[in-house]
Amino acid sequence: MSLLEIRKLSAYYEDFQALFDINLHADQGETIAIIGSNGAGKSTFLQSIAGVVPVAKECILFNGKPIGGMNAWDVVSGGIALVPEGRRLFSSLTVEENLQMGAYRAAKGDWTLEKIYELFPRLQERRTQAASTLSGGEQQMVAIGRALMSNPKLLMCDELSLGLAPIIISQIYATLAKVKERGTTMLIVEQDIRQALAISDRFYCFRAGRVSLDGLPREVSQDQISRAYFGV
Amino acid sequence: MNVVLDTIIQGILLGALYGLFAAGLSLVFGIMRLINVAHGDFIVLAAFLALLIQQVLHITSPFAALAVLIPLMFIMGYILQRVILNPTLGKSILRPVLVTFGLSVIIQNGLLEGFSADSQKLQAGQFAVQSIPLSHGLAVGLFPLTTLIVCVAVIALLQWVMYHTKLGRAFRATSDDQVTASLMGVNWRNLFSIATGITMATVAIAGVFMGIRTGFGPSAGPDQLIFSFEAVIIGGLGSLWGTLIGGILLGVAQSIGARISTDSMLLAGHLAFLVVLMVRPNGLFPRRGD
């Protein structure tokens, strides 16, 4: 049985249909990349799972249980965490308070502040600083750490590389690889195809709200991906 | 010299009452950007409820009535937010203003119906009139001094909750970004209801202190609202200690005005408010990012 199973998921962003009958599954421990251009519906997809965008109940199965349309605050305690696009840190809170917010209604697990600081030593130095004073890369680390604090079985990352320098992006993906080694299942949404494919076991390409291609990263050609990505 | 000092001391003590009025308003605005136009009416309602509790339970001290009134007002606040105010929150700031304006009218008329238009007062006996002599012929009233101590204690407690508890952290996070807070597991409907519950607990205290200090009738609410608003805005929106300072500044201004002529007491308070607004439109201690 898959940890996450999506069946014929449709979702609306205000009046506009953003997703059309998406089918997708993620097994325990798998890392899935979701690639696609701007507006393909990738973020809406993650938000549907996180409970921010309303969807039909039976469309999303997590551990075999239907969770579609559940309130976001109940989804997280079930073991699903989202690192939202653009970080979305609590700007008036300190770094440490941001991390603690991640544990507000955590699932059972062994992530602690100490372990997050081990993963991102720079955050320990900055723990009492307001989150808004950090650099973009550091903010992204806080956002990932905050999501991990909820002890997710499924970690969803939305556009981690957005606006960051290449060297920082490599560092962040190196850290994600460590999280992956612990057996955490991950959904990685990215426009940076190379990074996403390098870390993932399987991938899905979204175009205009539909899955245009899926498979194993090593089994598809650059050409096939380009066609699925741009639709030409 | 004594006159000046006395005016300032009395002003500070009066201002503490305004700080007590305004603490809850400041809290709710800081957390959910909600302006409760019925805030003053709830203070008056609390005073009437204290009167009722005293009569029904045969309690002589209005302070003892607080043991019942505080939990009662907390529950009322929770239900009020959960059932009536939460559905009004959203993109427009106008809806909660209109709904609480309606509540204000309902409370005033409900009180008129239930208690008549007679002015009431809460009796605290000797305690309300005793004073402590200071040097050079100055004296402070025991009750106004208690008001100041209670006001500082209430604000210190709120401040402690906001900055040193998990609940307070969730309040601040939700104030920053409600959707992201919900991703962390914060059910804002419940959280906002707790915030209004806490606010109403402070309103219970404010109502009893107001009722002991001055007479009150069913239509006294809007005056209390004006003082509360002015205290919050002078202090800076969302800052609790700022609200206390705002209340004290307002009290001192009124006290100075009253010294010049009794008619100009309220006018002097409003003028001080306008001056602060002109010099510092965001108040004395604005919160960053607002």
* ipTM for the whole predicted complex goes beyond 0.90: yes
CB contact under 8 A, B184 and A50: no
CB contact at 8 A, A52 and B183: yes
Structural domain contains residue B286 = no
Structural domain contains residue B287 = no
pLDDT at B136 over 80: no
pLDDT in tens, A22-50: 999 999 999 999 999 988 999 999 999 99
Proportion of chain A above pLDDT 90, given as a percent: 88
pLDDT at B288 over 70: no
pLDDT at B289 over 60: no
If contacts are CB pairs under 8 Å, which of residues 261-290 in chain B contact chain A?
287-289
Q: What is the pLDDT of residue B92?
A: 85
For strand A185-190 and strand A16-26, is the pairing parallel, antiparallel, or unpaired?
A: unpaired
Measured between CA atoms, the residue of chain B closest to residue A91 is B176
Of A71, A76, A92, the CB nearest to B184: A76
pLDDT at B290 over 60: no
Contact residues for B165 (Cβ-Cβ < 8 A; gap 6+): none
* Distance in Å, alpha carbon of B174 to nearest chain A alpha carbon: 8
Cα(B151)–Cα(B206) distance, integer angstroms: 9
Q: Which long-range contacts (CB under 8 A, 24 or more apart) does A65-69 make?
A: A68/A9
- Expressed as residue numbers, the domain containing B168 is 2-279
Structural domain contains residue B284 = no
Proportion of chain B above pLDDT 90, given as a percent: 87
CB contact under 8 A, B185 and A106: yes
B183: domain CATH number is: 1.10.3470
Of B169, B179, B180, the CB nearest to A97: B169
Question: Where does residue B219 rank: exposed (0-12), middle (13-18), buried (19+ CB within 10 A)?
Answer: middle
CB contact at 8 A, A140 and A174: no
pLDDT at B109 over 80: yes
Of A52, A73, A84, the CB nearest to B185: A73
Residue A84 touches partner B, C-beta closer than 8 Å: yes
Q: How many domains does chain B have?
A: 1
* Distance in Å, alpha carbon of B165 to nearest chain A alpha carbon: 11
pLDDT at A15 over 70: yes
Model confidence pTM above 0.90 = yes
Residue A106 touches partner B, C-beta closer than 8 Å: yes
Q: Which CATH code is given to the segment(s) A4-85+152-230?
A: 3.40.50.300
Structural domain contains residue B290 = no
Structural domain contains residue B238 = yes
